Structures are given as C-alpha cells and as structure tokens.
Amino acid sequence: MFEKINLLIPFGNFFRNKSTQNFLFLVFIQSSTVLISIISMPLLIQSIGAEQFGLVNLALSVIIILNIWIGFGYNLSAPAEVALKQSDKKELSQLLSNILSAKLLLATLASATVLVGAYVFSLFQGYQAILLLSLLLLFSDALFPLWFFQGMEKMKLVSVATIFSKLLFLMGLVLFVHHPSQSIWVNFMLGMFGIIVNIGLLGYIRAGMGIRFYKPKFFSIWKSLKENILLFFSNLVSYISIHGGLIILSFFATAETLGMYSLAERVVMILRLLPAMIIQAVVPNASKLFQADQALFFAFLKKVYLISLGVGAILSTSCFLAAPYIIQILSRNQLGEALPYLELLSLVPFLACLNVGNVTMLLVSNLRDLLFRASWMFCTYMIVASTLLTRAYGAIGLCYGILTTELVVFLISMLLLFRYKKDLLYGLYS
C-alpha cells in the first residue's frame, strides 16, 4: 500500500530525482525567458514604438516557425538517445556531431529559403530588413545543446548559460536600441548573444566532458530525419495553431495594430505555458502509473486535471481583471486598443487547460498517430476560421478565432479518444 502511495506522491526522493531536477531547471529556463520578455516589452515599446514593436514580433514569429524546422523533433527524440549512451563517449561524440550537423544544415536551408523569398519573390515587405537580420537566431537555435544536457541529466550549467544570454540581450537593448530605426538590431542581438553563449557550452562539452566532435555520418543523419518526421509535423502544426495568428493578422492590419495585438498576445501566451508545463511535469509519473496500475493512473490524472482547471480559471480571471493595469505597465502608455484584445484572450489559459487530461493520455499510451491527426485537424480549423474572422472583423475577429481553436482542440481530442480509445475516455471522465 505504501508503495502505491509513494508512486502518487514520491515525497522522499522528489527533489533528488534527476528527472525532477531536469524539469525544475526547464521551468527555471522558461521562467527566466518569460521574465526577460516582460522586462523588455516596455523598453522596446518606449524606444522603438508600437509599430516597430509589432514588426519585430512578426519577424520573430516567422523565425520561431523556422526553428521548428531546425528542431525537427530532436527536442523530443535526442534526449532519450543521449540518455541511453551516457557511458559511451565515442557514441555520444558521434551522436552530438550528427545532430549538430543536421540542425546547422536545416538552418542553412531555412535561411536560403527566406533569402529567396525576400529577394526573388519580394515577400516580407515592411519588415524585410528586420527578418533578414533575425536569421542569426536560426543558427543560435541550431547550436543550442539543451537536448544534450537534458539527456546527460546535467541541466544546471545550461540554465545559467541561458540566463546569461538573456541578460546580455537585455543589456544590449538598454545600450543600443533607442530609436525606431534601430528596431532591426533587436532580434539580431538576441541571436548574436545566443550564438556566443552556445559556442561556450559546446566548448565545455569538449573540454569539460571529454566529448569530441567527429565527422558527421550523413546516412545516420538521413535516418534520424526520417524517424523524426512525424514529430516535426506535430510540433509545426501545433505551433501554427497557437502562434500563427500574428502572421494572419499581418495581411489585414496596419503595423500599429500588429504592435497592439502582439502586446496582448505575448502576455496571454506566457500564461498559456501553464498546461504545457503541467503535462511535462506529470507525464513521467503518469507513464509509470499507466503501466503499473490503471486505477491509480486515472485517480492521479483526475486530481491533476482538476488542479489544472482550477489554476487555469484563476489565471484567466486574474488576467481579465488586471488587463488595464497590465497594458499600462508593459507599454508605459495608454494603448487602449490593446485592452479588448487582452480581455478576450485572457480566456485562453483556462480553455487550454481543458485538454490537459486528453493530451496526457495520448502521450502515456504512445498514441502519437492520434496526436498527429488531432494537430492537423485543429491547425486546419485555426487557419480557416482565423483568416475568415480576421478578414471580417480585424484583430477582434482573430481573438475569437484563437478562442474557438482552443475549444476545437479539446473537442477533436475527445472525439478521437471516443472513436479509438473509449476505455481511456471513460476512465478519466466517468
């Protein structure tokens, strides 16, 4: 009996467990990134204005989508491969060399695509210079060895390095960005400081851990790309569904409206990290319970689900009530048009928490094909609905598109589970 209780609440070894430490350091990295983002928003809006702020965020949205291409599912598959080869430095060296080479190759292809789009097809008008200088972020992401340190279960150094990189970026904003014309350097500095710090991390891997850099094996790279294709597409469509609204809005709104909407969206998307972090936290223990005792698994998941809904409701309510103060503090001005966007989008954290239980069940039961199918279905809905609503009602219409997408995600997951895994659905909701 005690062992079953300990599975649910592993008090004794909680903070000593390496998986728990990995999660806590990931939370620390994410929290620090969020904090720097919050601090930088008023600085940027005051120095470059709402219009250029919107264009900088638009370029960043494009870069983040391209970063999913560069990641190509390695963020999910590579840590497990590293963990299995922790004691074999030769195998680790080859794996590190292969994945770094693959990611650098993907970054080069993505950069070439953007350059062709900009100079051959005249795309990205209005923020072309900002986007081209933002390409440095692609190579920063390719060199970031977070996946390696996750697999080695040594996250402390990479956490400190990430904080240092963000602080350098913040210092760069204060020292060098004071005018709207200097907005082209914002994302460039973020990428430049990232590359400097990431090269330092790779140096530590070589000198401090004794891992060498070998000539990449292109057959192994090609094999890993084929194996990760499903993970890549799932990540891509999930990101587009959640963050693609700003790109859609860019076709129908002015740069100033983009800036005001992006301010509201950034606040809400920070809060929307809650369900993702909850899922990351519970999946390891939920997976063990799912294999050992499904009754305990469903009891555990029900508690997690109820807590998620409660915290999500508190976050959404607090965001709605505090919306005027949030806008005033972050913009250091009265950007009145951003207020209704934030008030509407404040429902997103709660709606996103509705799907915590469904996604957890899909992950622990290894139903990646259903997760992939759900991702494509709600991505299609988001693009169609948000485009039509934005065209008809502008940024307000986009807010409604984002809100309804969160509901559709939940309903699609429910329907797929009902059709293919009724026992899981009944276990959680009965």
Contacts of residue 258, Cβ cutoff 8 Å, sequence gap at least 6: 51, 54, 55, 57, 58, 246, 249, 250
pLDDT of residue 304: 87
**One domain, residues 81 and 195:** yes
**One domain, residues 412 and 314:** yes
Please tell me the distance from the alpha carbon of residue 155 to that of residue 25, in angstroms, as a whole number: 6
Q: Would you state the structure tokens that stand for residue 80, as one six-digit string?
A: 């497990």
Q: What's the pTM?
A: 0.69
pLDDT of residue 415: 94
Query: By the 8 A CB rule, do 346 and 322 touch?
Result: no
pLDDT of residue 18: 55
Boundary residue ending a domain (227, 243, 264): 227
1 in any annotated domain? no
Residue bearing tokens 């990641």: 71
**One domain, residues 179 and 273:** no
* Spans in the chain with pLDDT lower than 70: 1-24, 26-27, 30-31, 76, 80, 242-243, 280-281, 283-285, 332-336
**One domain, residues 123 and 269:** no
pLDDT of residue 145: 92
Q: Would you state the structure tokens that stand for residue 77, as one six-digit string?
A: 């598959």
118 in any annotated domain? yes
10 in any annotated domain? no
pLDDT of residue 10: 46
Q: How far, CA to CA in Å, does 133 sit from each of 44, 50, 54, 177, 213? A: 17, 20, 16, 15, 29
**One domain, residues 199 and 280:** no
Boundary residue ending a domain (227, 261, 278): 227
Give residue 344's domain range: 231-430
- Give residue-wise pLDDT tens across range 227-255: 778 778 777 777 777 667 888 998 888 87
Best CA proximity match to 271, nearest among 337, 171, 348? 348
Q: How far, CA to CA in Å, does 420 sit from each of 236, 362, 367, 376, 383? A: 24, 11, 10, 17, 26
pLDDT of residue 4: 44
Q: Domain tally for the chain? A: 2
3 in any annotated domain? no
Please tell me the distance from the alpha carbon of residue 135 to that of residue 425, in angstroms, as a whole number: 44
Best CA proximity match to 168, nearest among 156, 160, 178? 160
